[in-house]
């Protein structure tokens, strides 16, 4: 398993495929979002997030996945599949109520049996324009709360702290 935390991606005959090598976190989730935005703008409606070599996911990465899934649900024919999620990653997604938004390890997906060829076609997804990490982390956690009401209690303190940080930037200090 790689510890390089890179994002590999490709569009294979209209199927968007993205793979995280190493830890899926707030550090590389902006790449997931940027790549997915490009795919959706180009008309892709079926995206697979490949977790075969994902050692762990943080809540920001899962919130970014949830945001993508929520956008795809609103798209005719939109599907987000999760490929090769191990038990720990499957449980993490399920614990946040995300298994209702995405198909985790689907057995009958159109791409099943082609994973090797698809993975061979992947290339590293490049750098993303400057991302406000605080805003990104806030948005991802807000999405988790919107995805499942049970997440409100889990992330209320995180959201309060991030919101305070964002507001402090907007409000000039008192003299």
Q: Across residues 73-85, what is the average pLDDT?
A: 96
The predicted pLDDT at position 3 comes to 45
Which DSSP letter does residue 102 get?
A: S
d(CA 72, CA 62): 15
Query: How many CB atoms sit inside 10 A of residue 116's CB?
Result: 7
Residue 84 has, within 13 A of its CA and on its CB side, a CA count of: 21
For all residues of the chain together, what is the average pLDDT?
92
Nearest to 45 by CA among 29, 18, 69: 69
According to DSSP, the residues that pair with 81 across neighbouring strands are 48, 103
d(CA 6, CA 10): 14
Domain boundaries, the chain: 6-128
Beta-strand runs (E) in the chain: 6-12, 15-24, 46-50, 54-57, 79-83, 103-104, 123-124
pLDDT digits (tens, 9 = 90+) for 33-76: 999 999 999 999 999 999 999 999 999 999 999 999 999 999 99
The predicted pLDDT at position 52 comes to 96
The predicted pLDDT at position 175 comes to 66
Q: Which residue has the higher pLDDT, 3 or 30?
A: 30
The predicted pLDDT at position 64 comes to 97
Nearest to 18 by CA among 26, 28, 27: 28
Which DSSP letter does residue 130 get?
A: P
Q: Across residues 128-153, what is the average pLDDT?
A: 89
What is the SS3 assignment for 116? helix
Fold annotation for 6-128 = Transcription Regulator spoIIAA (3.30.750)
Contacts of 98 (CB under 8 A, 6+ apart): 62, 65, 66, 69, 147, 148
């Amino acid at each position: 398993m790689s510890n390089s935390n890179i994002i590999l991606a490709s569009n294979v005959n209209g199927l968007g495929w993205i793979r995280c090598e190493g830890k899926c976190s707030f550090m590389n989730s902006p790449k997931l979002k940027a790549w997915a935005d490009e795919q959706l703008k180009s008309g892709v409606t079926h995206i697979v997030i490949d977790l075969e070599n994902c050692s762990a996911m943080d809540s920001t990465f899962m919130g970014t996945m949830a945001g993508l899934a929520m956008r795809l649900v609103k798209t005719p024919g939109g599907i987000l599949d999760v490929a090769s999620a191990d038990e720990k990653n499957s449980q993490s997604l399920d614990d946040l109520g995300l298994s209702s938004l995405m198909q985790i390890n689907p057995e009958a997906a159109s791409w099943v049996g082609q994973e090797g060829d698809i993975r061979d076609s992947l290339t590293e997804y490049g750098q993303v324009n400057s991302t406000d990490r605080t805003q990104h982390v806030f948005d991802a956690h807000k999405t988790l709360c919107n995805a499942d009401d049970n997440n409100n209690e889990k992330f209320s303190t995180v959201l309060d702290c991030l919101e305070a940080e964002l507001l402090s930037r907007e409000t000039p200090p008192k003299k």
